[in-house]
Structures are given as C-alpha cells and as structure tokens.
Amino acid sequence: MEGLNTTRPQLAGKIARLVEERGWNQEDFARIANLNRHTVREIVKNGGGRRLRNATVSQCAAALGLHVNELRDLPLERLLPRMHGQSSPIADAGGLKRLTEQASTPELRGWVELNSERAAQLTPEEADELLLLQNGTGTLNRAQIDSRVELIERKRRLLLRVEAISASEYVDLLEQFVGVLFEKVQPRR
C-alpha cells in the first residue's frame, strides 16, 4: 500500500500554484508540510505531471490550511482568495445571505449579527436548518441556536473526513463501518 497513488496528476500543479501564492520557496514548504525536499521539488517543478500519495496530499493540505477534499475538489479560483486571507465570494453568498434575509426572530437575527463569520460558512441548506428553529417551537433561545450550529459544524467536519477516507485506500473499511452503523440506526421492519 505504500506506493498506492490515487490522486489525479493535476493536483500537484494546483499545490504548486498555491505554494507560489503563499510566497513560500521549496524549502519553506518542505519544512511547513513536513515533507522531504525531493518530494516538494517534484511537486513544484513537475506540477501536473506527478501523482501523489494520499499521505502527501494530506500533509500539503494541512500546510496550506485546507481540508483534503477542498484541495482535491475545489477549483483553483475558489482557493486562491483563501491564500490571501479572503473568503470565497461563493461562500459569502450562501447561508449568510439567506439568514440575513429570512431570520424573523430577534434571537436568530442577533446570533447572525454576532457570528457573521460562522454564518458565512453555512451553506443555504445549513441555514435552512437554523431557519426551521424559529418556526418550530415558538420560543427560540441563544443556547438552541448555538447547539444547532455546533451540530451543523460537526456534521460538516465529519463529512469532510468521510470524503477524505473515501478517496483513500481505506474505502472498503469505511464502507463496512458505515454499513454496520446504518444497520444500527435503521428502524426494524
């Protein structure tokens, strides 16, 4: 399994561009990502021609401040603003906009105002989960909102991890584990 290469060759080119955007030289990146200098040289010099091991991709993503699936799946134009400390305009347009426009309770409007950065990370579907709270019980408090947002963020982190595992050599193990858990949560027929 040591030599298993499962990533697309274009990924190396994307990493090379992001390293360049950070302003790092090869030695900086090798140190920050805890990678061998030869590996970094191959990524940076050969760009799109090199296929990378999953462990290498994981180390590169961590060094760049990204999740593995973001590095693999998001286009470069969505990642480049993050290299300069800016959020993606696509992310800002989703959940924050929906919450700003549709929050009707003072508690939810206040939470959005105080937590605009967290709200900007929400997808429109995640924002809908919060909006349902204001219509459900009638009484909405800050603890309920915080609790629901924490749950949404936990689910998002979990899905990112599952996506990373599903792109690795451990996909068979993941499938078995999910199958066992799925059987536990399904109602008996």
One DSSP character per residue, 96-117 reads HHHHHHH--SHHHHHHHHHTHH
| SS3 (DSSP) at 170 | coil
User: Shortest CA distance to 53 belongs to which of 37, 66, 35?
Assistant: 35
Within 13 Å of residue 158, how many CA atoms lie on the same side as its CB? 8
Q: Return d(Cα 35, Cα 37) in angstroms, integer.
A: 6
pLDDT at 30: 92
Ranges of each domain in the chain: 10-83, 89-185
Its CATH class, for the domain covering 10-83, is: mainly alpha
Q: For residue 171, what are its two tokens?
A: 């996909």
Q: For position 175, what pLDDT does the model report?
A: 92
Would you state the structure tokens that stand for residue 135, as one six-digit string? 């219509």
pLDDT at 177: 93
Confidence at residue 88, expressed as pLDDT on a 0 to 100 scale: 46
pLDDT string in tens for the chain (189-residue length): 333 444 445 888 889 989 988 888 999 899 888 899 998 998 888 665 667 888 888 888 888 888 887 888 788 877 887 776 555 444 445 788 889 888 888 888 899 998 888 888 888 888 888 888 876 555 678 888 899 899 988 888 888 778 778 777 888 999 999 999 999 888 766
For residue 3, the model assigns a pLDDT of 38
Q: Are 66 and 32 in contact (CB under 8 A)?
A: no
